[in-house]
Amino acid sequence: MRCLVLLILLFSFKLEGQYRFDFEIDSTGLEECCLDGRWFQVPAERWCCDTQAPITGSSSLHHSFDNSQEGCDYLIFRHDPLHTGDPFSFTFRIKHGFPPSSMNNWQLATGAVFDDGSLSADGEARILSGLVAGVNFTGSDDFVKIWWVDQGKAEVLCSTSLNYQEAVAADQAPLFRIEGDGAGNLDLYWSPDPEEQTLEHLCRCMMDGDPWGRELVLRYRYTSSRDRGLWLDELMLEGTFVADTSAPELQEVDLADPNTLVLEFSERVVLTGESSFVLYPAEQQGGLLPEEILQLGNAVQLSFSEVIPNRVAHQLSIEGIADLDGNRMAATLVDVLRNEAQWGDVVFNEIMADPDPPVRLEKEYLELYNRSDYPVDPEGWCLKVNAHSYFLDASYVLELSGTETDGKGSMGVLLPGSYLCLQGITLPNDGATLSLFSGVGTLLHASTYGNPWEGPEWKKEGGWSLESPDADLICRVSSLWEYSGDAKGGTPGRPNSNRTSMVDVEPPVWLYAGSGDPGELLLHFNEPLSHSGDGYAGIRLNPGAVVPDSVRLLDPLRDIFYMKFPEDFQQWPGYRLSLTEFSDCAGNRTDVQEFSAGAIEAPAPGKLVINEIMYDPWEGNPEYVELFVNGDSFLDLQDLAIQLDGEGGRSGHLLALSSHSRIIGPGQYLVLTDCVPHLREAYGLEVSGQWVE
């Protein structure tokens, strides 16, 4: 049945603070829908005025859509703002043709704010706020109740003793009336037959919430066999309705993604042919026009074909916007800045992994430092300690003197040069890999930590934090952390005790290669690399000058360079890889190198020999065992282990030499030790892949 919008004046009027609807069809008798532009339906075309079993007169509002599936349909009327400080009332007659249940029920919401589903993640329409009267809005006990809805959450304000299923027959049309006294008290009345019986008081409650919305919402939930079973008639709204003469206001501009702006207005707005939006880059000519404009409740979404540059000032020009009452907003120019945190903006700056025995600080904590020039919001960021993830919120903020959250249950904004100390994070005493990701998955920082080998033994027992000497040295690994020198054992929320300015002038060193799945090769470096992408086109695998299909740095540390080749070279007797130059975070570049290997063979006696043992070093020097690759075989260290047996034949346990693929070749020496930095310091050794910790 097609719905028309021409007949509203025949049955709807507003006099002396009153809206009244009797839903009567024009005297011509045409059975047409009778809802003008102040009404809208979600989904569309579910309700009409028709003559099928009307409540009063010749027609009533009726759910007339024949649905082959279950549904939840809404009819919404937008009225002038109601002044709830004066007495008011809402009256209606309802007929529900089926016994109510959790899947078959009705409600009428007043003073409501309605979301048509455009902005919700699941796309479902819902009542966001307002006063709801009806049956089984929550639960399924069939009692008539009043709910207050705030931010989509419903709370029962008043529960009556009226069981709708038991007290109302399918062909009855009781009248309900809600009265407010202007002082916050609400009373609910009903009459099972208003033509024969007077109103009966059902319940009283206090209204909780201000301000009210401007929408009256009829909600009908039904199964596939219970559609077309709801009628409404004699709807009347009485009170002090004040005409809206105020133009809509722009309340907020958010970036939904790098291409999309969402404009939040104080009320639902209208887009017309005169509406325009232009995004102007600061100090540049020309502007960007949105490729798509969507109306989303009180919001307007602008999608641009080009990415909005990060941290580049823009201005958005807005013209031709009005509300549903025709109040026009003045032309507006608003500043827009896409401010998404990037790698190195926020860094790990201090770690208290082992506070026991305490010096003065008794809790584990992890300190973040904002070294950028921009404020950032860490709410919802993901912190990983090894493989364990923590999604940050206010509960992780360590309460320190002089620091606090914003008092609203969120973490607050981390300003440039500020510290954020996190508690409730499990930090292994012997070290871990830390990584920090933004809410959109951008890797912001990564680092490793471990007990400094050269630190004093009494600090290794616990109670002292690890501090970064220089927060601007962002690609730090375990060797760059130092024990705190502060008398409290650490400096949470304060500048580090050992802070200094450090300069990185050493290029990254390639340590060793490892294989993965067929066609994969991974190069391990001693420090994180800069993924500039320059020179990668020069990588070749010979024989055949094979070019990799893909290359990338592996998160989170970015000290492993991954290559995937179309050829299964791992079975070749021999191959050579010509390497490009690589840069570290400070811009230091390696020389062009070449790596040679061949098919990996299984370990066998004589292929790898114990060549040297340091079992009784000078005091302060480490023990070690030296291995030598004998013959012409290529081996993988992950296939090998060492066993140290005690005196008297006591059998020790096997220690794996590598947790991942690590290719070793003919004539190569390897030195096994328990602390590579200690070994290098003691014997004056350079950074190399020969040393195995």
3-state DSSP assignment of residue 648: helix
Verify cis geometry, omega within 30 degrees of 0, for the bond prior to 556: yes
692, containing H or E segment? strand 691-692
What is the DSSP track for 190-229? EES-TTTS--EEEEEEE---SS--SEEEEEEEE-TTSTT-
Task: Using the Cα atoms of residue 129, residue 133, residue 135 and residue 140 in order, give the sign of their dihedral.
Answer: positive
Strands 575-578 and 583-584: unpaired
CA 24-30-36 angle, to 5 degrees, is 55
Q: Which residues are paired to 42 by β-bridges?
A: 74
In this prediction, residue 209 carries a pLDDT of: 65
Contact between 405 and 377 (Cβ < 8 Å)? no
Residues of the chain with pLDDT under 50: 1-16, 27-31, 401-408
Strands 143-150 and 153-163: antiparallel
CA distance 465 to 485: 9
Place of tokens 């903020």: 397
Place of tokens 């290669």: 513
517, containing H or E segment? none
In this prediction, residue 32 carries a pLDDT of: 52
User: Mind listing the pLDDT tens digit for each residue in 276-302?
Assistant: 999 998 776 778 999 999 887 688 999
427 Cβ neighbours under 8 A, 6+ residues apart: 351, 352, 353, 364, 366, 385
CA distance 448 to 348: 10
In this prediction, residue 518 carries a pLDDT of: 95
CA 352-358-362 angle, to 5 degrees, is 65
Task: Using the Cα atoms of residue 657, residue 661, residue 662 and residue 667 in order, give the sign of their dihedral.
Answer: positive
CA distance 560 to 571: 22
In this prediction, residue 4 carries a pLDDT of: 29
State the DSSP code for 620. Answer: T
In this prediction, residue 119 carries a pLDDT of: 55
Q: Which residues are paired to 4 by β-bridges?
A: 34
CA distance 556 to 568: 27
677, containing H or E segment? helix 676-683
CA distance 510 to 524: 6
Verify cis geometry, omega within 30 degrees of 0, for the bond prior to 357: yes
* Whether this model's pTM surpasses 0.75: no
In this prediction, residue 158 carries a pLDDT of: 93
Strand segments, DSSP code E, in 505-549 are: 510-515, 520-525, 529-530, 540-542
For 258-346, where are the alpha helices, taking DSSP H only? none
Q: Which two tokens stand for residue 68?
A: 């082959």
CA distances from residue 568 to 539, 565, 599, 622 in whole angstroms, order as listed: 16, 7, 11, 41
In this prediction, residue 211 carries a pLDDT of: 63
Task: Using the Cα atoms of residue 437, residue 439, residue 442 and residue 444 in order, give the sign of their dihedral.
Answer: negative
User: Mind listing the pLDDT tens digit for each residue in 501-515?
Assistant: 998 899 999 999 999
CA distance 584 to 509: 10
232 Cβ neighbours under 8 A, 6+ residues apart: 23, 55, 60, 61, 92, 93, 94, 95, 108, 218
